[in-house]
Structure 1
């Protein structure tokens, strides 16, 4: 049994989709900096539970 949930988010720089593994027990309501898997730019992601499921909000690091 896997403890993570597969998710995707769109890179705010190059607009490609990136894969992300989310640990529901530890990652909800956390902020992280990850690098885009394509263009390698730093992306600030926030993982929230919006009541309907897990949502990943991706922003440029310089916003």
Structure 2
């Protein structure tokens, strides 16, 4: 499996969809990336389940993860 994936996410601020690159070599991980549309900081949480399925969840910076 390729450790670098492209994910389409929806910004929790402006609601627009955009594609971003996610590095899955270290899981779980949390990081902040700015929205490509409105430039607000999005918190990313990347995890894997027991079947190695990758899950990318995004939150507003002020939301609890």
- Would the TM-score normalized by the shorter structure come out above 0.5? yes
Alignment correspondent of 1:57: 57
Given the two structures, how large is their TM-score scaled by the length of structure 2?
A: 0.78
Deviations 1:9-61 (A, max 9, x none): 111011111222122213x2110011000000111110011346211110100
Is structure 2 residue 18 aligned with structure 1 residue 18? yes
Aligned length: 61
- Partner Cα separation in structure 2 for residue 4 and residue 33 of structure 1: 17
Considering only aligned residues, what root-mean-square deviation do their CA atoms show, in Å? 1.7
Counterpart secondary structure, 2:33: strand
Q: Runs of 5+ in structure 2 lacking a partner? A: none
Q: Structure 1: which 4+ aligned runs deviate by more than 2 Å?
A: none
- Partner Cα separation in structure 2 for residue 36 and residue 19 of structure 1: 10
Given the two structures, how large is their TM-score scaled by the length of structure 1?
A: 0.80
